Structure formats: C-alpha cells, structure tokens
Amino acid sequence: MSNDVYKEFLEYLLFSEEEIEKELDDFKFACEKADITAEDVAFAKDVWIPENWCAKYKGVRMALGVIVREFIDVCLTPKFRAEGKKLVYGILPAYSNLYYALQYADPDVYISFPDILLTMVLNGIFHKAGPMFAKAENVITPGCRHCPLNKMRLAAYTSGIIAAPDVIWSWGFNCDEGPKTDELIQNICGDEWKYVISRAPHDSLFGVPDDEVMRRLKLVAEEYRTGFNTICDIINVHVADEDFKKANDDLNRVTFKVSMLTQMMCKADPPVLSGNIMTVISSFQLFPYNRGLKKMEEAVDTLIVELRKAMKDGDGILPKGSPKVATYFDPPSVPWFDKLFLQNGVCTTYSLITTPTKKQLSHDYVSDDPFMVMAEIWLRRGSIQNMGSDINGMVERCETYHPDGVVMGFFDFDRWLGAHQKTASKRVEERTGVPHFYMECDFYDDRDYTEETMSTRIESICQVLKMRKNTED
C-alpha cells in the first residue's frame, strides 16, 4: 500500500499542508511504534471513522485530529527525553489546569496522560488496542480484573512506546490501582519511575455537597499544593500566579463553549450530532493536551458553526422527533456503541458527568487562594463527589437537557465509577421519571463483547424509547 495513505489520513483529519510536511514522518514513526500498519490507517480513514463518528462535520474530524497530534507526541517521548525535555505524566481523573500551568511556566515541560491517549486513539480511531492490553495481561496477575488504562500504561512502557517520565503524578483520589501500577512498572522494569501520589478520603456524607465542606476543601487544596510543589522541585520549574490564571482562564473559556455545544445538540430536532465526540471534546477537563487547548477550541468553534447551520437547514442525522439518550460517559474507545443506537433510530447526546452543572459554570469561590479554587472546582465535578451529590448533579442535568432516556454502565471494572451506577440509575429515574438502562460493559476495551452481542440489548432499549416517545407525542 502506498505511503500516501498516511498523508491522506492527516488531510482527512484537517491537518494543514504545513503541518503535514512537518509531522508526516513523525506520524509514520508513531504508527510503527504502536504496530499500526498502512492497512490500519486506510481502514480508519475509509471505514472505521466514517461508520462510527459523525465525520461529515469538519469539527468532528478536527477534534479527532487533536488526539492524533497528542498520539504523535506520546510516541516521541523517548526523543523528547533525549532532547532534555522534562516529562510529566499523570493518570485519570486529574485537575488538568495544574499541568497547563507547568507548561506555561516552562515550554520545555512535556505533559501527557499516555494511557488514556493511546487507548482513545488505538481503539477509538484504529480499533486496535487489544494487542497492547494483551501484552500487559502477560505480566500482571491472571484472573484479576484491572483497569485497561493501567494495562495500557504498563504495556506502552515495556514495549518502548513511551519513555520513563521525570515524574508521574498519580492521582489517588478515585483510583487506588493507578499508583500501584507505577510501582509495578518500577519493580518489573528496574527503572526509576519517580511518582507523587495525591489522595483524599471519601468520607463525606451522602448528598452533602463536597465543595461546601471547608475541612474537605482545605484537605484537597493541601494535597494539590504539596503534590504540585514537589513536582516543581523535581523538575526545577517555578510557576507564577499569571501561569495559574492563564490555565484557569483557558479551561473556563473552553468549558463554557462546550456547554453551549451541549445545549445545541440537546435542543436540536432533528438530532444533528451523536455523543461520542462530546466525550473526546470534553476530555480536556480530565487530562491535559501537550499542545494546549488551542486546536480543540478551534474544533469546538467550527462544530458550533456547523451545528447552527444544520439546525437551521433541518439537516439531521436522524428524522425529526427521534428519541435522545444521555449516558454516564459515552465511550470514545468503543465508538460503534453510538452507531448501534443511530441504526435503531435513537441518538446519544450528552454525558451525565462531563457536562457542567450550573454550579460548575459559576466562578463564585470561597477563597482567592489558587489551590482552594482548584479544590472547589474539583469537588464540584460529577464522579468526584459522593454518591448523593453525584445523583443530584445527574438529576439537574436531566431536568436541564430533557433526555428521553439514560444509559448507565460500561465501568464494571472500576470500583469508584462502576460501584454506584445501579443505585444512581434507580434514584435518578425515581426523581425525574426518565427511564434508565444499565449495560455491563468495559468503557475502554471491547474484546469481550462485540457489536453482534450488544445489538439485541441496544435494539430493545431503542424500542422502549421509541414507544414511550410515540405515546407522549
């Protein structure tokens, strides 16, 4: 197959001619490192992306191009290390502003969460993450369920795709397996992986807003402050107040635009966009992009213009009056999930977690201390809060965006994100009247289930939603 396929792929994702000239060889190198062949690239461009993403929109392809750029950088980390860049990694979920502040203070700082980036690209765009997961499974304890992200990080390092970081900030607020994975890598490989762990107890009372408990705010703020200062000392970087301010301003600006985009797609009739791309777009809230937010903001701006036109023209992806469902998270690493809903006349829309609530969009904080502000922002997030507060946020989002149904699940491997979903589904349905459905699946890894095995379940959900919609109408 001609090498032109690599160039055609980048063109398809709206890389400029100047970018292609600069990045083509690096993209080929990244594909080779990750065992992505020319045939895989052609399949992604010609089949996988068109079939599973709303690729008719430039904004969608631009957003996918953002994570491909990050994929290129991830695979270049051994080169970056040789050039003297300071590599700072992290794991989900984290407060991404702190990473941006580091980079604003020193442009030679490389920031990334390699595991989620590789998983989103390898499975979401090329549908080929399975071999990487399998490499990790040859090392870790058999028969024990592990998060695919931790498996990806282990496999990526032992395969030589990523370099050892100068430091990895292991966020133990939700994930207790993440820090242990870094320890495992160090023990298996014999290499020094410096890691800083930040954690907080989950002892808040059911339904009490975590961000309104002062002792909790102070504890989380101190975890941020201690961890951040330790990392600054390790990589010898001084972060000024203006760096924090720029990081916060940038994130708040793009978050507001994503909120606008969410409102548009939920209001649109006929539906104009499915939800998996919203998870990609909203990912900047959960992990940082090494190249910054500029490209993703451009994708959001483009998509807003395109959706406005589609809504004006009545150019939907489904007929007018089609039901819409919200999800806990719409899985970008399993994009065919959206395709099956669309094939059955139902459109996925927003996430019950990444879509901001009114409080999240508010900039009214109890302190001017930047770490207290960060702690308050963090504790307002869905999935970070206690179960009762998380449920309250889900209820608000349902009452604001009026989905015809909600699909929960996909996190049966995760003790935090998965443990409360059946209870949350029941509580939110009782309070809103919106029907909820639960699916036992893996958010990142679809090796144990396929389109064929899930099609009957999704078809049944869609039939219920369409019957309810017809009855209401």
Q: What is the 3-state secondary structure (H, E, C) of 119-184?
A: HHHHHHCCCCCHHHHHHHHCCCCCCCCCCHHHHHHHHHHHCCCCCCCCEEEEECCCCCHHHHHHHH
How confident is the model over 148-162, as a mean pLDDT? 92
Tell me: pLDDT of 200 over 80. Answer: no
How confident is the model over 387-414, as a mean pLDDT? 88
Which of 22-36, 61-75, 403-417, 429-443 has the least mean pLDDT? 403-417
Which of 92-96, 186-190, 259-263 has the least mean pLDDT? 186-190
- Highest CATH level, class, for 248-472: alpha beta
Tell me: pLDDT of 455 over 60. Answer: yes
Pick 199 or 36 by higher pLDDT.
36
Tell me: pLDDT of 1 over 60. Answer: no
Tell me: pLDDT of 338 over 90. Answer: yes
Tell me: pLDDT of 119 over 90. Answer: yes
pLDDT band at 473 (very low <50, low <70, confident <90, very high): low
pTM: 0.93
pLDDT confidence of residue 285: 80
pLDDT above 90: percentage of residues in the chain: 59
pLDDT confidence of residue 3: 64
How confident is the model over 88-92, as a mean pLDDT? 91
How confident is the model over 341-365, as a mean pLDDT? 85
